[in-house]
Amino acid sequence: MTPEISRREALQWIASATVLMAAQPGAVAADSAAPASTPSGKPYGTDPNLLKSYKPGELWPLTFSEGQRRTVTALVDLILPADDRSPAASTVGVPAFIDEWVSAPYATQQADRPVLLDGLQWLEAESRKRFEADFAALTAAQQSQIADAICHLPAAKPGFETAAKFFHLFRNLTLGGYYTSPVGMKDVGFIGNVARTRFDGPPPEVLAKLGIGKP
């Protein structure tokens, strides 16, 4: 019998498969917000200083308003809530990561910018329509009711396709931000970028799973 896996473990598998893939940009609805303005910052070039730590907003102006930041925080924590071994996504800086993403003056990020900003606006409108409250003020069950309608594009009902494209992109960014943080890398057992005095090779159980035995 196949053992059950937790929701977090399932998302870890998704992250492993998608974090290095470009998230799909989607079209925005014609009756949603006006097209987002172009970020005003300048790229850091092809030779950045990798030894320096930058503060949020140091390289280019950030985008999110306080209201958008609350919505983003609520949604990342709905996607990756705290469990008995790892903290929620908001506690490791994922909202700031997404704010940096939508604010960055690069082609990929600029293409994603209107998808994310219009999607957040849709999320708030849908929240008020269903529950007469901001998304961040809803219970987890109410938030899930909205998210369940847009979490899988092929199953999205007519009229929800654009919102589902937003959720696809937002979920990929949430997983990418979380599982490239020190906490997220520890959560998946990543041990790279750490000096080691010895290396004993792949564990026997990994070799067995791959069908590779000793000669």
pLDDT for 12 equals 47
Number of domains forming the structure of the chain: 1
Domain span at 84: 1-15+62-192
Q: Is 101 a domain residue?
A: yes
Q: Is 57 a domain residue?
A: no
For residues 193 and 154, what is the distance between their CA atoms, to the nearest angstrom? Answer: 38
For residues 95 and 77, what is the distance between their CA atoms, to the nearest angstrom? Answer: 10
**The tokens 């196949």 sit on which residue?**
2
Q: Is 144 a domain residue?
A: yes
* pLDDT of the chain, 215 residues: tens digit per residue: 344 445 455 444 444 444 434 333 333 333 333 345 677 778 877 777 878 888 888 889 999 999 999 999 999 999 999 998 899 999 999 999 999 999 999 999 999 999 999 999 999 999 999 999 999 999 999 999 999 999 999 999 999 999 999 999 999 999 999 999 989 988 888 877 778 788 888 888 888 888 886 65
Q: What is the CA radius of gyration of the chain?
A: 19
Q: Is 94 a domain residue?
A: yes
Residue 101: partners with Cβ closer than 8 Å, 6 or more residues away = 109, 112, 116, 173
What's the one-letter identity of residue 169? Answer: L
Farthest CA pair distance, the chain: 66
Contacts 24+ apart (CB under 8 A), 42-45: 42/105, 43/105, 43/106
Q: Is 66 a domain residue?
A: yes
Q: Which of 43, 187, 23 is nearest to 111 (CA)?
A: 23
Instruction: Please tell me whether residue 186 adopts helix, strand or coil conformation.
Output: helix
Q: Is 137 a domain residue?
A: yes
Q: Is 52 a domain residue?
A: no
**pLDDT tens, residue by residue, 55-83:** 888 889 999 999 999 999 999 999 999 99
DSSP state of 87: -
And the tokens for 107? 């082609």
Q: Is 51 a domain residue?
A: no
